[in-house]
Amino acid sequence: MNNFHDGTPKHPIRGEESRLQKLMMDMLVEADVKVNGGRPWDIELLGAKVPERVFSLGSVGLGEAYMDGDWQAERLDEFFTRVLRARLDRQVQPLRLAFHALRTRLLNRQNLKRAWKVGEVHYDLGNEFYEAMLDPRMTYTCGYWDGASNLAQAQEAKLEMICRKLQLKPGMRLLDIGCGWGSLMAYAAERHGVHCVGVTISKEQTAWAQNRYAHLPLEFRLQDYRTINERFDRIASVGMFEHVGRKNHRTFMQVAHRCLADDGLFLLHTIGKNQRDSATDPWIDKYIFPNGDLPSIGQIGDAADDLFVVEDLHNFGSDYDKTLMAWHANFEASWPQFKDQLGERFYRMWTYYLLSCAGAFRARDIQLWQWVLSKQGITGGYKRPDSPGREAAASLRLANAPKGR
């Protein structure tokens, strides 16, 4: 196994185990992970003071040590699956991380000024980079794999499912809060005949989408969601609520409520956590999504209280595991064209991000929800539409079935 992507290995540390290394080994046994073992999910120590960094800095120390090349696991996704299933992350809570948790609870880290930081740090990384990693429609959210056999099919199935859940009809106006590169807007316009307005805080996304979809009835705005004040037949927000922050959940719902027609539908697609009071992972916050804050079901419910009727709640978080693994495969395949520009440390950082998140979804440590909300309740009730992916797969099997004589 190569310990660095360029094939230059480091050598595992030898000699007498330190007290912290022994403690780390004993903890990892609970997750069926061995230090310097031979299985794909075992951790190989390649530099000094990895245990010290983990016990003093928690997830930040673990992630930074990986970025520095001080430890390796052949299957990083499986390593994290086992660690998170055993809840070892809850056993390592350094005192210095308590300040991070306190900031998350007390401060509004997603106010009008700070909200733009994630666009600059993450989404403005470069359109060419994301084009190489994502599907042809540039959809940077969880695909829907029921009946799908590849990433492009899973993303189209997800987009079609959203359109069906929203019951889109030709001529409607759709607002997409956090529109990304415009994949939902373009799909909805092309397949369902709607007019769309999308807002994003990424300059790169806005410019790319305006250029690609100039022929469609789409309007892309570089705008914070809090400043929107006009009516739409339907609203969607796909993969943006994770950046809203608990201090702004209610404001977000109030904006959606004032912008939605009285007989409209609002679809909220978001990653979520299982525990209300937990803080954002500090490594993810520092290196990937600054000021992010995953909501819990209770927090979303509190924010929607007396504003919306919850018509449907759909959890397909296990599909994010498959989506992240597909993104990682694309990232690996395209890395040679970005290696000189981004460097080895970025490679290890991005690998750690994609595979640790895949492991988290596989362990069911985090979830993916789609909520369908209405302002006054659907008369007679709301019925979730059938899976478009399974429907398409069944049609394909029927078309390819042997014909009778």
State pLDDT tens for residues 187-198: 999 999 999 999
**Confidence class of residue 391 from pLDDT cuts 50, 70 and 90?**
low
- Lookup: tokens for 156: 């189209």
Alpha-carbon distance of 281 to 89, in angstroms, equals 10
pLDDT tens digits, 38-83: 999 999 999 989 999 998 888 999 999 999 999 999 999 999 999 9
Query: Taking the model in full, what pTM does it have?
Result: 0.87
What would the mean pLDDT of 224-250 be, rounded to a whole number? 96
Please check the confidence at residue 3 and state whether its pLDDT lies above 50.
Answer: no
**Confidence class of residue 20 from pLDDT cuts 50, 70 and 90?**
confident
pLDDT tens digits, 286-314: 999 888 899 999 999 999 999 999 999 99
Alpha-carbon distance of 51 to 58, in angstroms, equals 10
Cβ proximity of 373 and 265 under 8 Å: yes
Q: Radius of gyration of the chain from Cα atoms?
A: 22
Query: Which 3 state secondary structure label does DSSP give 238?
Result: strand
List helix spans (H) across 193-317: 203-212, 249-259, 282-287, 297-304
pLDDT at 42: 98
Catalytic residue numbers, as ranges: 357
What would the mean pLDDT of 228-253 be, rounded to a whole number? 96
SS3 sequence of 295-349:
CEHHHHHHHHCCCCEEEEEEECCHHHHHHHHHHHHHHHHHHHHCHHHHHHHHHHH
Intra-chain end-to-end CA distance of the chain, in Å: 55
Taking every pair of C-alpha atoms in the chain, what is the biggest distance, in angstroms? 76
Cβ proximity of 367 and 271 under 8 Å: yes
What would the mean pLDDT of 393-401 be, rounded to a whole number? 54
- Lookup: tokens for 373: 């909300």
Please check the confidence at residue 217 and state whether its pLDDT lies above 50.
Answer: yes
pLDDT at 394: 57
320 Cβ contact list (under 8 Å, min separation 6) = 142, 271, 357, 358, 361, 368
β-bridge partners, 71 = 45
